[in-house]
C-alpha cells in the first residue's frame, strides 16, 4: 500500500478512535438516564393502575430528565471544550438523588408504603426490596454527580486516555480541553 494511503488510513482510524473515546466519556450518563427514565415510567404506570393520586412525582422527575437527555444527545459531535458544562445533567442527577433519598425515608413509614408504593406488599420483604432498589438508584445518582464533577475538572480517566492516545498518535491537542479550576 502506498505511504500516502497508509497515512490517510491511519488518520481516519485515529479520528474514529478519538470520536469513540469522546462519546464513551459520557456513556455512564446515557445509561443512567435511560435506567431512571424507564424506572420512573414504570412507577408512573403503576400509579395509574392503582388509581393513586401521587402520579405527579414520577411524572415530574421524568419531565426534569428531558433537558438532561437533550444535553446528552447534543454532546454527540461537539468539540471537547463544549463538553464540560453538563448543567442539566448535573441538576437532574441531584434531583434524582434527592427523590430517592426522600423515598427511602418515606418508605420507612406505613403511610409511605401504602400511598407511594401500593403495588408492593407492605411486608418486611416488600420494604427490603424497595429499600434496595431505592438505595441502588441513590448510589447510581451519586456516582453520576461525582462523574460530572470529574469531567468539569478534567480529572476523569477517560480524558487522560484521550490525551495519551493523542500523544501517541502525534496529535497532541491538549489546548482544546481548557482548564477549569
Radius of gyration for the alpha carbons in the chain, expressed in angstroms and rounded: 21
What per-residue confidence (pLDDT) applies to 180? 47
User: Is 93 in the same domain as 44?
Assistant: yes
Which grid coordinates are listed for 84? 464540560
Task: Verify that 31 and 119 share a domain, yes or no.
Answer: yes
> What is the DSSP code (8-state) at residue 177?
G
Output the nine-digit C-alpha cell for 173: 491537542
Same domain assignment for residues 9 and 32: no
pLDDT above 50 for 181: no
Query: 74 and 136, same structural domain?
Result: yes
Q: Which residue has the higher pLDDT, 169 or 127?
A: 127
What is the pLDDT confidence band of residue 83, given thresholds at 50, 70 and 90? low
* Pair (119, 177) in one structural domain: no
Give me the pLDDT at residue 156, please: 78
pLDDT greater than 70 at residue 34: yes
For residue 155, give the C-alpha cell. 480529572
Q: Write out the H or E segment, with its range, that includes residue 154.
A: none
So what's the pLDDT on residue 73? Answer: 87
Quick one: 57 and 135 in the same domain?
yes
Buried b (16+ CB within 10 A) or exposed e, 36-69: bbebbeebbebbeeeebeebebbeebbebbeebb
pLDDT digits (tens, 9 = 90+) for 153-168: 877 777 777 777 777 8
Is 75 a residue whose pLDDT tops 60?
A: yes
Q: What is the pLDDT of residue 84?
A: 63
Per-residue confidence at 173, pLDDT binned at 50, 70, 90? very low
Provide the grid cell at 10: 491511519
104 & 175 share domain: no
When divided into structural domains, the chain yields a total of 2
Residue 31: domain span: 27-154
* 33 and 52 inside one domain: yes
User: Is 44 a residue whose pLDDT tops 60?
Assistant: yes
Give pLDDT tens digits for 84-141. Answer: 678 999 999 999 999 999 999 999 988 888 888 888 888 899 999 999 999 999 999 9
The 3-state DSSP class for residue 155 equals: coil
Say if residue 94 is in the same domain as residue 66: yes
pTM surpassing 0.75?
A: yes
Same domain, 87 and 130: yes
The answer to whether residues 4 and 50 belong to one domain is no
Note whether 149 and 87 are same-domain residues.
Answer: yes
The dihedral formed by the CA atoms of 52, 56, 58 and 59, expressed in degrees to the nearest 10: 130
Q: What is the mean pLDDT of the chain?
A: 84
Residues 2-19 have a mean pLDDT of 72
Amino acid at each position: 500500500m502506498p505511504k500516502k494511503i497508509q497515512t490517510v488510513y491511519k488518520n481516519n482510524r485515529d479520528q474514529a478512535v478519538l470520536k469513540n473515546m469522546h462519546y464513551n466519556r459520557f456513556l455512564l450518563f446515557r445509561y443512567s438516564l435511560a435506567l431512571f427514565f424507564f424506572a420512573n415510567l414504570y412507577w408512573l404506570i403503576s400509579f395509574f393502575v392503582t388509581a393513586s393520586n401521587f402520579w405527579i412525582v414520577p411524572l415530574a422527575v421524568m419531565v426534569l430528565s428531558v433537558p438532561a437527555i437533550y444535553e446528552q444527545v447534543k454532546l454527540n459531535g461537539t468539540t471537547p471544550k463544549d463538553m464540560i458544562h453538563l448543567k442539566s445533567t448535573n441538576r437532574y442527577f441531584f434531583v434524582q438523588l434527592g427523590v430517592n433519598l426522600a423515598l427511602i425515608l418515606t418508605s420507612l413509614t406505613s403511610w409511605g408504603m401504602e400511598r407511594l408504593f401500593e403495588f408492593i406488599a407492605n411486608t418486611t420483604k416488600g420494604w427490603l426490596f424497595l429499600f434496595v432498589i431505592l438505595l441502588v438508584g441513590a448510589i447510581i445518582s451519586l456516582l453520576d454527580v461525582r462523574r460530572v464533577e470529574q469531567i468539569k475538572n478534567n480529572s476523569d480517566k477517560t480524558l487522560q486516555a484521550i490525551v495519551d492516545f493523542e500523544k501517541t498518535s502525534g496529535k497532541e491537542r491538549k489546548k482544546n480541553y481548557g482548564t477549569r479550576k
